[in-house]
Structure 1
Protein backbone atom coordinates (compact mmCIF):
# COMPACT_ATOMS: atom_id res chain seq x y z
CA UNK A 1 0.00 0.00 0.00
CA UNK A 2 2.79 2.47 0.86
CA UNK A 3 4.49 1.82 -2.47
CA UNK A 4 1.25 2.53 -4.34
CA UNK A 5 0.60 5.65 -2.27
CA UNK A 6 4.14 6.91 -2.92
CA UNK A 7 3.73 6.23 -6.64
CA UNK A 8 0.43 8.15 -6.71
CA UNK A 9 1.94 11.12 -4.88
CA UNK A 10 4.77 11.26 -7.40
CA UNK A 11 2.28 11.16 -10.27
CA UNK A 12 -0.04 13.76 -8.70
CA UNK A 13 2.51 16.46 -7.97
CA UNK A 14 1.22 19.83 -9.02
CA UNK A 15 3.00 21.93 -11.66
CA UNK A 16 5.81 24.29 -10.67
CA UNK A 17 3.58 27.32 -11.37
CA UNK A 18 0.33 26.99 -9.45
CA UNK A 19 -2.45 29.55 -9.90
CA UNK A 20 -5.25 29.39 -7.33
CA UNK A 21 -6.59 32.91 -7.60
CA UNK A 22 -10.26 33.62 -6.81
CA UNK A 23 -10.84 30.17 -5.31
CA UNK A 24 -12.35 31.32 -2.01
CA UNK A 25 -9.35 30.01 -0.02
CA UNK A 26 -9.40 31.13 3.62
CA UNK A 27 -7.40 28.37 5.37
CA UNK A 28 -4.29 26.34 4.65
CA UNK A 29 -5.80 22.88 4.90
CA UNK A 30 -3.83 19.75 5.72
CA UNK A 31 -0.13 20.58 5.93
CA UNK A 32 0.99 17.04 5.07
CA UNK A 33 -1.02 17.18 1.85
CA UNK A 34 0.43 20.59 0.95
CA UNK A 35 3.94 19.20 1.46
CA UNK A 36 3.17 16.05 -0.53
CA UNK A 37 1.45 17.64 -3.51
CA UNK A 38 3.34 20.95 -3.74
CA UNK A 39 6.91 19.65 -3.53
CA UNK A 40 7.69 21.02 -7.01
CA UNK A 41 5.80 24.31 -6.77
CA UNK A 42 8.06 27.33 -7.30
CA UNK A 43 5.43 30.00 -8.02
CA UNK A 44 2.11 30.26 -6.18
CA UNK A 45 -0.66 32.72 -6.97
CA UNK A 46 -3.18 33.01 -4.13
CA UNK A 47 -4.50 36.41 -5.15
CA UNK A 48 -8.16 37.38 -4.74
CA UNK A 49 -8.87 34.83 -2.01
CA UNK A 50 -10.08 35.18 1.57
CA UNK A 51 -6.79 34.66 3.41
CA UNK A 52 -6.75 36.97 6.41
CA UNK A 53 -4.54 35.13 8.88
CA UNK A 54 -0.74 35.23 8.56
CA UNK A 55 -0.49 32.01 10.55
CA UNK A 56 -2.54 30.19 7.88
CA UNK A 57 -0.40 31.70 5.13
CA UNK A 58 2.80 30.69 6.92
CA UNK A 59 1.54 27.10 7.16
CA UNK A 60 1.12 27.06 3.39
CA UNK A 61 4.51 28.66 2.68
CA UNK A 62 6.44 26.53 5.19
CA UNK A 63 5.22 23.35 3.48
CA UNK A 64 6.34 24.36 -0.02
CA UNK A 65 10.13 24.07 0.22
CA UNK A 66 10.97 25.39 -3.27
CA UNK A 67 8.62 28.38 -3.23
CA UNK A 68 10.27 31.48 -4.69
CA UNK A 69 7.29 33.58 -5.82
CA UNK A 70 4.11 34.23 -3.84
CA UNK A 71 1.24 36.48 -4.88
CA UNK A 72 -1.12 37.42 -2.03
CA UNK A 73 -2.72 40.41 -3.78
CA UNK A 74 -6.29 41.32 -2.84
CA UNK A 75 -6.48 39.16 0.28
CA UNK A 76 -7.99 40.94 3.32
CA UNK A 77 -4.83 41.26 5.44
CA UNK A 78 -5.47 44.77 6.83
CA UNK A 79 -4.93 44.88 10.58
CA UNK A 80 -3.53 41.34 10.75
CA UNK A 81 -0.33 40.95 12.73
CA UNK A 82 2.52 38.86 11.40
CA UNK A 83 4.36 37.23 14.29
CA UNK A 84 8.15 36.86 13.85
CA UNK A 85 7.93 33.07 14.31
CA UNK A 86 5.53 32.89 11.33
CA UNK A 87 7.62 35.27 9.21
CA UNK A 88 10.49 32.76 9.22
CA UNK A 89 8.48 30.60 6.80
CA UNK A 90 9.04 33.23 4.09
CA UNK A 91 12.84 32.91 4.07
CA UNK A 92 12.98 31.05 0.73
CA UNK A 93 10.59 33.45 -1.03
CA UNK A 94 12.37 35.78 -3.45
CA UNK A 95 9.38 37.70 -4.83
CA UNK A 96 6.29 38.59 -2.82
CA UNK A 97 3.31 40.56 -4.16
CA UNK A 98 1.09 42.31 -1.59
CA UNK A 99 -0.94 44.65 -3.82
CA UNK A 100 -4.29 45.69 -2.36
CA UNK A 101 -3.76 43.83 0.93
CA UNK A 102 -3.38 46.95 3.10
CA UNK A 103 -0.73 45.26 5.25
CA UNK A 104 1.03 47.50 7.73
CA UNK A 105 4.53 48.86 7.17
CA UNK A 106 5.60 46.91 10.27
CA UNK A 107 4.58 43.71 8.50
CA UNK A 108 6.40 44.74 5.33
CA UNK A 109 9.56 45.48 7.33
CA UNK A 110 9.36 42.17 9.14
CA UNK A 111 8.98 40.33 5.82
CA UNK A 112 11.93 42.16 4.27
CA UNK A 113 14.09 41.03 7.18
CA UNK A 114 13.08 37.41 6.59
CA UNK A 115 13.36 37.55 2.80
CA UNK A 116 17.08 38.03 2.25
CA UNK A 117 16.90 38.70 -1.48
Structure 2
Protein backbone atom coordinates (compact mmCIF):
# COMPACT_ATOMS: atom_id res chain seq x y z
CA UNK A 1 0.00 0.00 0.00
CA UNK A 2 1.42 3.41 -0.96
CA UNK A 3 1.64 6.35 1.43
CA UNK A 4 -1.01 8.17 -0.59
CA UNK A 5 -3.46 5.29 -0.31
CA UNK A 6 -2.77 4.89 3.41
CA UNK A 7 -3.28 8.64 3.95
CA UNK A 8 -6.51 8.56 1.98
CA UNK A 9 -7.75 5.59 4.00
CA UNK A 10 -6.92 7.39 7.25
CA UNK A 11 -8.74 10.55 6.17
CA UNK A 12 -11.75 8.47 5.12
CA UNK A 13 -11.76 7.03 8.64
CA UNK A 14 -11.50 10.54 10.14
CA UNK A 15 -14.51 11.63 8.05
CA UNK A 16 -16.50 8.55 9.07
CA UNK A 17 -15.70 9.06 12.74
CA UNK A 18 -16.48 12.79 12.55
CA UNK A 19 -19.85 12.01 10.97
CA UNK A 20 -20.63 9.52 13.75
CA UNK A 21 -19.49 11.92 16.47
CA UNK A 22 -21.55 14.77 15.02
CA UNK A 23 -24.61 12.52 15.09
CA UNK A 24 -23.96 11.65 18.75
CA UNK A 25 -23.46 15.31 19.65
CA UNK A 26 -26.76 16.29 18.07
CA UNK A 27 -28.46 13.46 19.96
CA UNK A 28 -26.88 14.65 23.22
CA UNK A 29 -28.02 18.21 22.58
CA UNK A 30 -31.57 17.04 21.94
CA UNK A 31 -31.73 14.63 24.87
CA UNK A 32 -29.64 16.45 27.48
CA UNK A 33 -29.67 20.05 26.28
CA UNK A 34 -25.89 20.21 26.01
CA UNK A 35 -22.98 18.61 24.22
CA UNK A 36 -20.07 17.04 26.15
CA UNK A 37 -17.08 19.40 25.89
CA UNK A 38 -14.56 16.60 25.26
CA UNK A 39 -16.58 15.32 22.31
CA UNK A 40 -17.02 18.83 20.91
CA UNK A 41 -13.26 19.28 21.19
CA UNK A 42 -12.67 16.04 19.28
CA UNK A 43 -15.03 17.19 16.52
CA UNK A 44 -13.33 20.58 16.30
CA UNK A 45 -9.93 18.87 16.10
CA UNK A 46 -11.25 16.71 13.24
CA UNK A 47 -12.58 19.84 11.52
CA UNK A 48 -9.19 21.54 11.78
CA UNK A 49 -7.43 18.45 10.40
CA UNK A 50 -9.92 18.12 7.55
CA UNK A 51 -9.62 21.84 6.77
CA UNK A 52 -5.83 21.57 6.63
CA UNK A 53 -6.09 18.63 4.21
CA UNK A 54 -8.81 20.20 2.05
CA UNK A 55 -11.32 17.46 2.92
CA UNK A 56 -14.99 18.59 2.84
CA UNK A 57 -16.92 18.45 6.09
CA UNK A 58 -19.98 16.20 6.27
CA UNK A 59 -23.20 18.28 6.47
CA UNK A 60 -24.04 17.03 9.97
CA UNK A 61 -20.59 18.05 11.16
CA UNK A 62 -21.17 21.52 9.74
CA UNK A 63 -24.49 21.70 11.60
CA UNK A 64 -22.87 20.83 14.94
CA UNK A 65 -19.98 23.26 14.43
CA UNK A 66 -22.42 26.04 13.57
CA UNK A 67 -24.43 25.27 16.74
CA UNK A 68 -21.27 25.36 18.87
CA UNK A 69 -20.10 28.56 17.22
CA UNK A 70 -23.51 30.16 17.81
CA UNK A 71 -23.30 29.12 21.46
CA UNK A 72 -19.87 30.73 21.72
CA UNK A 73 -21.26 33.95 20.27
CA UNK A 74 -24.14 33.91 22.78
CA UNK A 75 -21.63 33.28 25.56
CA UNK A 76 -19.47 36.18 24.40
CA UNK A 77 -22.50 38.46 24.48
CA UNK A 78 -23.53 37.50 28.03
CA UNK A 79 -21.60 39.77 30.35
CA UNK A 80 -23.10 38.55 33.60
CA UNK A 81 -22.06 34.90 33.27
CA UNK A 82 -20.04 33.72 36.26
CA UNK A 83 -16.29 33.40 35.83
CA UNK A 84 -14.77 29.89 35.95
CA UNK A 85 -13.34 28.96 39.37
CA UNK A 86 -9.73 29.95 39.95
CA UNK A 87 -7.41 27.56 38.12
CA UNK A 88 -10.32 26.05 36.17
CA UNK A 89 -10.06 26.41 32.41
CA UNK A 90 -13.23 26.96 30.43
CA UNK A 91 -12.75 25.03 27.16
CA UNK A 92 -15.21 27.30 25.34
CA UNK A 93 -13.24 30.51 25.86
CA UNK A 94 -11.18 31.66 22.89
CA UNK A 95 -7.63 30.83 23.98
CA UNK A 96 -5.24 29.16 21.53
CA UNK A 97 -5.67 25.58 22.77
CA UNK A 98 -9.41 25.76 23.36
CA UNK A 99 -12.56 24.90 21.44
CA UNK A 100 -13.29 28.60 21.06
CA UNK A 101 -9.83 29.34 19.73
CA UNK A 102 -9.99 26.55 17.17
CA UNK A 103 -13.53 27.43 16.14
CA UNK A 104 -12.68 31.08 15.75
CA UNK A 105 -10.01 30.07 13.21
CA UNK A 106 -12.72 28.13 11.34
CA UNK A 107 -15.53 30.70 11.72
CA UNK A 108 -15.20 32.24 8.24
CA UNK A 109 -15.54 28.75 6.79
CA UNK A 110 -18.59 27.94 8.93
CA UNK A 111 -20.56 30.57 7.09
CA UNK A 112 -20.28 28.77 3.75
CA UNK A 113 -21.33 25.29 2.75
CA UNK A 114 -18.57 22.68 2.65
CA UNK A 115 -19.62 19.78 0.39
TM-score range, shorter chain: 0.3 to 0.5
TM-score (norm 2): 0.34
* The structure with more radius of gyration: 2
Q: Which of the pair is proportionally richer in strand? A: 1
Q: Which has the higher contact order (CA 8 A, sep 6+)?
A: 2
